Amino acid sequence: MAIAFTVNGKGVSVEAEADTPLLWVLREDLALTGTKFGCGIAACGACSVHVDGALTRSCSVPVSEIAGRAVTTIEGLKGADGTLHKVQQAWIDAQVPQCGYCQSGQIMAAVALIERNGTPSDAQIDEAMTNICRCGTYPRIRTAILAATGSAAAAVQGEA
């Protein structure tokens, strides 16, 4: 079945079974491999993308539910000129990743949080950031989120 939707601002049409998870269409059909497979049950968040601006765990959404909608992946956060999104830059500045596997999903969750709340509090960060990081970089993730909002730019310097 042909399913048409928008990915990172570009219209696409893919041939896929209706129940194929969006994650696999992104990775296998569209070669957007920044979105990762983690658990397959929407628990870990490695597969997080935005669908019509809402944070979505793509491993558990059938591609048929995406028809006519707009998907943004980690690859779509960069500006048209290739500049990094402010959250991506904050991640680099705070040296967030260790293994890096979960980080695209973490960044997508952080962007959704900032777009929703502007300058989130620690409690809002705790509530929203439910993605799992096996390396335990949660303090650096918090620092990067705060730095991206301008609320703790100096903290990036001292956090390790």
Per the CB < 8 A criterion, the answer to whether 132 and 68 are in contact is no
**pTM for the whole structure:** 0.92
To 10 degrees, what angle do helices 103-117 and 138-148 make? 40
Diameter over CA atoms, the chain: 52
**What are the domain boundaries of the chain?**
2-76, 86-148
What is the chain's pLDDT, residue by residue, as a tens digit (160 residues)?
Answer: 999 999 999 999 999 999 999 999 999 999 999 999 999 999 999 999 999 999 999 999 999 999 999 999 999 999 989 999 999 999 999 999 999 899 999 999 999 999 999 999 999 999 999 999 999 999 999 999 999 999 864 444 444 4
Q: Are 3 and 10 in contact (CB under 8 A)?
A: no
What is the pLDDT, as a whole number, of residue 121? 93
Token pair in block for residue 106? 């973490």
CATH class of the 2-76 domain in this structure: alpha beta
Q: Are strands 2-7 and 70-72 parallel, antiparallel or unpaired?
A: parallel
pLDDT at 152: 61
Token pair 């993730």 in the structure block, residue:
141
Q: What is the CATH number assigned to the segment(s) 86-148?
A: 1.10.150.120
